[in-house]
Structure 1
């Protein structure tokens, strides 16, 4: 007769323990407080970069009592496309391409941010870093560049004298060049062509081309391609085609492999140099062939946070990621000895780069250059960008044939895209 009450007592105790365990697990990083909800985030950052970004998200979770489910992947385009097609997109995705941002906005997939991120925080970025897309007759903001990089630069070993660089730049054998990039192979070549056009012709011509209003076979475009092709001999071009972009700069510092002296690559690459303190940069206008040596125009890139799902929790996280508070925390969460991220937000002090003079120069250039222009291929519709990447690989495999045939082919693609509905080009890429 006494067995039943005892059984009920044991069951009650077990249930209580389970409830306690669930409460602890549910609290996660909330410091014992109950979570108000969950937000899913997709971005490209993994490894050390991913750890630093997770630190920012953990700070948000503790402060706002909102759990963040973060997924970092180097195949973001493929993962995001699959999740969107399946009807299960993340609440927030950080897109490395302003063109993809425009495409998702035009397809009705994104939440406008005009009422999410207040006008004052958006003004700290400027229009270049908060792209507006015309959808249904209205132009709205759909993304905020929560991270930025400078591209119109050339890296070299600090043991070299700056006066040596022009002579080195004239010799194609002294450039560290790698076209490999997994599914995106060829993009380093598109950066060369883009920067050559910008430094030879200026921001106005560059913007017309990047927004689909200048023909690919325009003589000014032809000149940029020919300048690039004339720089490299057959052996240098072949080596570039089989070299991964992440390995291209290893020869800068006299390590194993073929020595080289210069690398045309964005500011993010410095994090892969060992040690980063051995690398300095010069602006590409002073070194690229046929460039206007007085040019102060700089090509840049951004990682744009965008909302695919609308909820109070997602809105709160979006506002936080766009804030100077979050970006200062991001820099502070970066491991000692690692390069810190750069930001377009003018409310983030240059002091977040600590006592790193090279990083401070980059951060300053991202704000105070004569003209900043977004990476052109990133701003283009996906089909155009992929065709561009394939074309630079084909051109490098036989520069002697000239670029005319390839440029006519790219011009046909541009014409076809301009005739397709729902294939938007950004209206501006320079500011």
Structure 2
């Protein structure tokens, strides 16, 4: 989009240049956004004042509809609909969300048939990456204003940048997420015992030693999950990798460019092994693979506690015993840094919205998803965290989620669950199995890591 206007007065040139930048406000700047290719340049040919979201609120797209699909069903579908209702009422854009429990299978069929909805909600970036590689996804950096990019920690945009046939593109925007880098503990008993929340890895190990010296087991651990047994161990590995090596190495690990047999991954598993030891784990190391992950934190609420520390995502509170109260019976702390040069990263999972059909009203909805307002009602209802900087902690209806959101806001970087980024044969296959076999004692560390490497598709 270029402004075809020629001004004779030299003193006006600067103003014309500024006007041109405003007219092209949807186009990325070179410093922060990938350059648009010929195939992904904005569809409009005339400059229009305001961003697409501003134009939507001005009523320009009233009466239009934007189709969506994703995994939200039942209660989650209701929460999503409620979160976009105010936008629909204000703009006249009808967001038609059709959720399905068979999301992965149905979206692949629809995209291949040329019947993709306007926007697709991907709970796993790996599947989205497949469509980006095929050139099916619109580069949102070609129209989002700088304010959208400024409303996130840069890590979110790093995770949204993927390779297409025309080069790297920003393949979508993050709307909501859940967090995994927290450790739960029985607050009342913990305080009564005089224990202190650890700030570093050394503090965490010292706390484990202190609890063990007092005659108890510090860690509540269980990785049994039916056909998915082993997945909690992969979350631990991802959190430790983020704290012991660079983000670049973490990213390479999830794509297979950093082998599991590398020193970096072996170091992470060695550190995990020091904590998942008989002297630290309730039931001993042999109980790790036979304890259902949802039951693992239950002994923490015995009187007195049989174990004291449990690392898990924010969803785990739904498995806590009925009647326990946050801030009284339990609390949480940030899983501490290990090597300070890697900062305070946070491991997350969540939903990235990707655009398949390029129309002005679809652009407006995508820009809306870059604002905290797009998830405000969901935060109030509970069950979601916002990645947006403009989301207020006051919007959270759940104190635990508010506290976790505050921790994530203080983090130096975020990265998506690594196993979900890996090919299914690895992330939901050999990685789970090797961790299970290793901690059951049936194979050694080198064998576990080499088996995972051997399973990587070529």
Q: TM-score range by the shorter chain?
A: 0.7 to 0.9
2:139 maps to 1:97: no
2:87 maps to 1:60: yes
- From 174, 184, 195, give the equivalent of 1:155: 184
Contact 2:134 2:165 in 1 (8 A): no
* Alignment match, 1:372: 414
Separation in structure 1 between the aligned mates of residue 98 and residue 224 of structure 2, nearest angstrom? 25
Residue 97 of structure 2 aligns to a residue whose secondary structure is: strand
Contact 2:223 2:292 in 1 (8 A): yes
* Alignment match, 1:179: 223
Separation in structure 1 between the aligned mates of residue 416 and residue 165 of structure 2, nearest angstrom? 25
Separation in structure 2 between the aligned mates of residue 62 and residue 40 of structure 1, nearest angstrom? 16
Residue 147 of structure 1 aligns to a residue whose secondary structure is: strand
Contact 2:179 2:349 in 1 (8 A): yes
2:257 maps to 1:206: no
* Alignment match, 1:353: 396
Residue 110 of structure 1 aligns to a residue whose secondary structure is: coil
Residue 372 of structure 1 aligns to a residue whose secondary structure is: strand
Taking structure 2 as the reference length, the TM-score comes to 0.69
* Alignment match, 2:167: 138
- From 312, 334, 341, give the equivalent of 1:265: 312
| Residues 289-346 of structure 1: CA deviation (Å, up to 9, x unaligned) | xx448963332333211123444443332222222222223323x1xxxx45221211
Counting helix residues as a fraction of each chain, which structure ranks higher? 1
Q: How many residues align?
A: 370
| Residues 380-403 of structure 1: CA deviation (Å, up to 9, x unaligned) | 34444233233323333x335212
1:57 shift after superposition: 3.0
- From 384, 389, 396, give the equivalent of 2:432: 389
User: Which structure 1 residue ranges, 5 or more long, are not aligned?
Assistant: 1-33, 418-431
Matches within 5 A, 1:400-411: 401-411=443-453
Separation in structure 1 between the aligned mates of residue 300 and residue 75 of structure 2, nearest angstrom? 23
The change in CA–CA distance for 1:199 and 1:138 in structure 2 (over 3 A counts) is closer
Separation in structure 1 between the aligned mates of residue 164 and residue 325 of structure 2, nearest angstrom? 43
1:217 shift after superposition: 0.5
Separation in structure 2 between the aligned mates of residue 228 and residue 244 of structure 1, nearest angstrom? 19
Contact 2:151 2:371 in 1 (8 A): no
Separation in structure 2 between the aligned mates of residue 114 and residue 77 of structure 1, nearest angstrom? 25
Taking structure 1 as the reference length, the TM-score comes to 0.73
User: Which structure 2 residue ranges, 5 or more long, are not aligned?
Assistant: 1-60, 198-203
* Alignment match, 1:120: 147
Residue 161 of structure 1 aligns to a residue whose secondary structure is: helix
Contact 2:379 2:397 in 1 (8 A): no
Matches within 5 A, 1:22-421: 36-73=63-100, 75-85=102-112, 87-130=114-157, 131-161=160-190, 163=195, 166=204, 169=208, 174-180=218-224, 184-201=228-245, 203=247, 205-229=249-273, 231-233=276-278, 236=284, 239-254=287-302, 260-270=307-317, 273=320, 274=322, 275=324, 277=326, 278-285=329-336, 291-292=338-339, 296-332=344-380, 334=381, 339=382, 341-353=384-396, 356=399, 358-386=400-428, 387-396=430-439, 398-399=440-441, 401-414=443-456, 416-417=457-458
- Compute the RMSD of aligned alpha carbons: 3.5
The change in CA–CA distance for 1:82 and 1:270 in structure 2 (over 3 A counts) is farther
